[in-house]
Structure 1
């Protein structure tokens, strides 16, 4: 005891530790803290007996209660799927108009379609469905094949230029580089760009209009406003999919690019395609 240091101010024994002249008092821990600590140890021991706890080489101790979080999760997932199955069956047997008219079905289909869109459609159309170069924006009201829910369903279901699906949508713009002279292609590109902006040489627009009428109006219409039956885009609205500059338009006339959208019914099933159609229709551009 003679070697023990006693603090002069508090009269409490110190631990013998010292840092820069500061000594640590050897106060005992509060009883409530000690009993709480002992309680946690006891709780841990009881827990390891009742529940899975100790890892072994190929498994873990199962506990005397036989509890399994994986089994509980599987049961919860099964119950959720069973609950969803009733609604999914109703969606499967309902028309798109009936789904939209039923608030519960519409809400469920929209949520399911949003999930399916994120997994399958965002690589091309983007997370916000705003599209990009060569991929259409699904938020606006400009649709190549029509924007009502049935037209959207048809497009998703059978795709565009899908070589496997016999009901796929097909629109093939011919390569006019084999039909028109380079000057005629320049003229028609000038005319097309003049519909929404100022061309480099406006004097070519009049001749380009005649080239357009002779070669392009059968698909795009005399006023270049497109034709949904053929998937021909409106060229007079300043919304461009494959080209937007005069040079790009000329290249598209000369040697057009044709995108391909897969048919999704065979991959996702008809019910999921219905949900996708309802979701895309709900984005704001659906008619």
Structure 2
């Protein structure tokens, strides 16, 4: 009876299943041969993988497979090879001079890659990811370094820090001439006007008498650190006041605030946090960025 009730589709010749949805009847079509083919391939691949590769857990161990491949050993060998490769260039950077390393393109490529990571992890929080600094933090790619731009000077600054707890720390402090009543308010503004004029030669709205009076105040109070020419002193961490680079701002109000309230920047010592190799790489990285800066 069931066979006699089955209906055959007039277009395809396939029997129907007896299911119908809104006038659409379901055909009882066979599974395509391609499906059986790929299922067979999948089964053969799985069986082959189980035989050749580590696959099944067996309590405290597992089936090793005929190929004996162990990913732990693969990773261990990869790490061993990486360490061996690293030891070659780390030894060169540790032993060769800054100049020799800078003249070696392959080493400098490693310095740029490794230094970028070191700088991002340790220095970018203050100096910015691009090392161009911001208010209160110097631009390391262009501005003169307070304690010198030479490789050894930069390396040592990274090592001991500035106003840090290190016994050999660099020390740099701008006195608060106004707040500590070393100069009256009017004299602070005169000195600020003179300092402003040094790096803004084009300024035309400055009173010449105020600038001249500020020059005398500067000579009496500031030259011991910044020099007679106001170009600073790397030994004391006193910045050049005649260029366009300012840590706390070079406009008249910012200069006035600096003279009035003083400044005391801080840079941590990295001797206990970074290895000598890492500090040398950072030094080379900064020198490279300064060389590449327009």
TM-score scaled by length of structure 1: 0.84
Give distance in 2, aligned partners of 1:221 and 1:17: 100
> Residue 122 of structure 1 contacts residue 129 of structure 1 at CA under 8 Å; is this kept in 2?
yes
Report matched runs for 1:110-125 at 5 Å.
110-125=112-127
Q: Which residue of 1 aligns with 2:63?
A: 63
User: What SS does structure 2 have at the residue aligned with 1:284?
Assistant: helix
Larger Cα-atom Rg? 2
1:184 aligns with 2:187: yes
- Which of 269, 281, 289 pairs up with 1:283? 289
Give distance in 2, aligned partners of 1:165 and 1:15: 91
Q: Which residue of 1 aligns with 2:173?
A: 172
- Which of 206, 215, 219 pairs up with 2:225? 219
Aligned residues: 284
Between 151-160 and 40-49, report the one with greater CA deviation: 40-49
Give distance in 2, aligned partners of 1:252 and 1:51: 71
1:144 aligns with 2:146: yes
1:181 is displaced (CA, Å) by 0.7
> Residue 55 of structure 2 contacts residue 64 of structure 2 at CA under 8 Å; is this kept in 1?
no
Structure 2 unaligned blocks of 5 or more: none
Give distance in 1, aligned partners of 2:23 and 2:198: 87
Give distance in 1, aligned partners of 2:192 and 2:116: 39
Between 11-20 and 248-257, report the one with greater CA deviation: 11-20
User: What SS does structure 2 have at the residue aligned with 1:106?
Assistant: helix
1:247 aligns with 2:253: yes
Per-residue displacement from partner, 1:96-116 (whole Å, max 9, x unpaired)? 122223333333333322221
Structure 2 CA distance for partners of 1:137 and 1:53, relative to 1, 3 Å: farther
Structure 2 CA distance for partners of 1:127 and 1:70, relative to 1, 3 Å: farther
CA RMSD of aligned residues (A): 3.0
> Residue 165 of structure 1 contacts residue 263 of structure 1 at CA under 8 Å; is this kept in 2?
no
Structure 1 unaligned blocks of 5 or more: none
User: What SS does structure 1 have at the residue aligned with 2:147?
Assistant: coil
